[in-house]
Structure 1
Amino acid sequence: MTTNKILVVDDEPDITELITLYLERDGFDVHSTDNGEDAILLAEELKPDLIILDIQLKNLDGIEVCKKIRTDSGVPILFISCMNDDTDIIHGLTVGGDDYMTKPFSPSQLVARVKAHLRRQAVIDQSKTVIVVEEVLTFDGLVIDIPARTVLVRENEISLSTKEFELLVQLALAPNRAFPLDDLYTLVWGHDSMGDTRTLMVHISNLRKKIEIDPTNPLYITTVRGVGYKFSLKEGNTHVHR
């Protein structure tokens, strides 16, 4: 069995040591650095299975590191930050982060998050989609090719992150079904939201900006007040190729 490689990027030695201790105790191969420039080089050299990335770094912040890594890698990136600031969190998730945790956090909870992301990534690597179906979903102005993991919006192919694509597929496979926030989060991220669904909401916002004509008045992904989200569908607006 191959040992998963984890890259930890944090400029606080005590935090790095604690994370490393808990991850190594669970059998992970842990590598670390305290600066952003080295993180980019190590990500390319080591090809880690997951990156734990602090937003507040001295020479090159985690946001810029994430941007650089995302130019050629889809590795899961879990942001950690000492700032419980929505702007900080939103920025990190918008540039390609998959999830986040705010300091101080429980090391055992961090390990649980890491394992959940790795399980999800393993499913994606094996099946090329988190939902194993051989379908092309066709809607008015939107085509979702699940096996190819491609999306056409008004005949133009758009680029979606892994989580954005999974969210879109989960919603589109059950049109007009209202998904509670916590349920949708668990389906896509593979672990409980612990009551914090900001990660999900940011990804929905990013997804709307990419597929909707007017993200402020969405046609596809609509909000169900007091519940969560649904993929809105008018009768006769879709057909499925198998």
Structure 2
Amino acid sequence: MNRRILIVDDDREIAGLIEIYLKNEGYDTATAHDGEEALAKLDSEPYDLVVLDIMMPRMDGLEACRRIRRNREIPILMVSAKAEDMDKIFGLMTGADDYMIKPFNPLELLARVKSLLRRSYQYNRTSSDEPDDGVLEIGPLRVDKRSHHVEADGKPIRLTSTEFGILYLLAASPGRVFSAEEIFQQVWKEKYFESNNTVMVHISKLRDKLEQETGDKLISTVWGVGYKIDV
């Protein structure tokens, strides 16, 4: 079955171009032109990914992203004409998995979409043929790769596929320090660029969620080196 992608942008020309690029790659698509319309469509039909503009009428992309994250783990690729680092950080902090600046290269857009879908599939799939070796227990956490399920003392923790990927990577090698470059390359499967603060923002969100449920951030920063989970 083809993956379904919701494109949300008040600029109908841009939304139409993105739709053409994605359809040419075999994806099923639908469009919405503000946050309220996007939420209504997500409530009525299942989608595998959202391409979400920030600046829109009625409800902007940041508020739409917050509301989507209340009860959905669907990958979100945020797009915006705002190029400042703080705009990108704010977008990622609201729950987006990735952030692109307009105007963008169509090939880069497709690469980002494929990467997000691949990550989501990798961490959400289940198979009765797969050996039960994808479960990690570290401290109060139980991390199940097969079901993309995380518990703290039996209580579930909702994570996006990106957050889950980072947590599983660190939890699989407790005590080992991973640099931001290593984390990015292993979770995003893309080349890392200097000054890329994407990993830092996702680590911050992940820590907040873990601390909320366990009372402990669990992930330590080794300044100038990277991040780790201690045994």
TM-score under structure 1 length normalisation? 0.80
What is the CA deviation profile of residues 213-235 of structure 1, one whole-angstrom value per residue up to 9, with x for unaligned ones?
9xxxx8732223433222234xx
Matched, 1:81 2:80: yes
Per the alignment, in what secondary structure is the counterpart of residue 71 of structure 2? Answer: coil
Q: Please tell me the residue identity of whatever aligns with 2:175.
A: N
Are the aligned partners of 1:49 and 1:76 in contact in 2 as well (CA < 8 Å)? Answer: yes
Matched, 1:27 2:57: no
Per the alignment, in what secondary structure is the counterpart of residue 174 of structure 1? Answer: coil
2:144 is aligned, of 143, 146, 169, to: 146
Distance in 2, matches of 1:61 and 1:83, equals 14
Structure 2 equivalent of residue 238 of structure 1: none
Distance in 2, matches of 1:103 and 1:193, equals 20
Structure 1 equivalent of residue 180 of structure 2: 181
Q: Please tell me the residue identity of whatever aligns with 2:138.
A: T
Distance in 2, matches of 1:108 and 1:169, equals 29
Q: Unaligned 5+ residue runs, structure 1?
A: 234-242
Are the aligned partners of 2:78 and 2:99 in contact in 1 as well (CA < 8 Å)? Answer: yes
Distance in 1, matches of 2:63 and 2:99, equals 16
From the superposition, tell whether residues 40 and 157 of structure 1 become closer, same or farther in structure 2 (CA, over 3 Å): closer
Structure 2 equivalent of residue 223 of structure 1: 221
Matched, 1:43 2:71: no
What's the CA shift for 1:172? 1.6
Structure 2 equivalent of residue 161 of structure 1: 160
What's the CA shift for 1:4? 1.4
Per the alignment, in what secondary structure is the counterpart of residue 104 of structure 1? Answer: coil
Distance in 2, matches of 1:159 and 1:46, equals 21
Distance in 2, matches of 1:158 and 1:28, equals 30
Structure 2 equivalent of residue 239 of structure 1: none
From the superposition, tell whether residues 7 and 193 of structure 1 become closer, same or farther in structure 2 (CA, over 3 Å): farther
Distance in 2, matches of 1:13 and 1:90, equals 26
Distance in 2, matches of 1:66 and 1:13, equals 20
Structure 2 equivalent of residue 115 of structure 1: 114
Are the aligned partners of 1:150 and 1:157 in contact in 2 as well (CA < 8 Å)? Answer: yes
Q: Please tell me the residue identity of whatever aligns with 1:191.
A: E
Distance in 1, matches of 2:222 and 2:30, equals 43
Distance in 2, matches of 1:119 and 1:196, equals 25
- Superposed CA RMSD in Å reads 2.5
Q: Please tell me the residue identity of whatever aligns with 2:55.
A: Q
Paired residues in the alignment total: 222
Structure 1 equivalent of residue 135 of structure 2: 135
Are the aligned partners of 2:170 and 2:228 in contact in 1 as well (CA < 8 Å)? Answer: yes
What's the CA shift for 1:40? 0.8
Are the aligned partners of 1:18 and 1:107 in contact in 2 as well (CA < 8 Å)? Answer: no
Are the aligned partners of 2:123 and 2:165 in contact in 1 as well (CA < 8 Å)? Answer: no
Are the aligned partners of 1:185 and 1:197 in contact in 2 as well (CA < 8 Å)? Answer: no
Distance in 2, matches of 1:84 and 1:166, equals 26
What's the CA shift for 1:60? 0.4
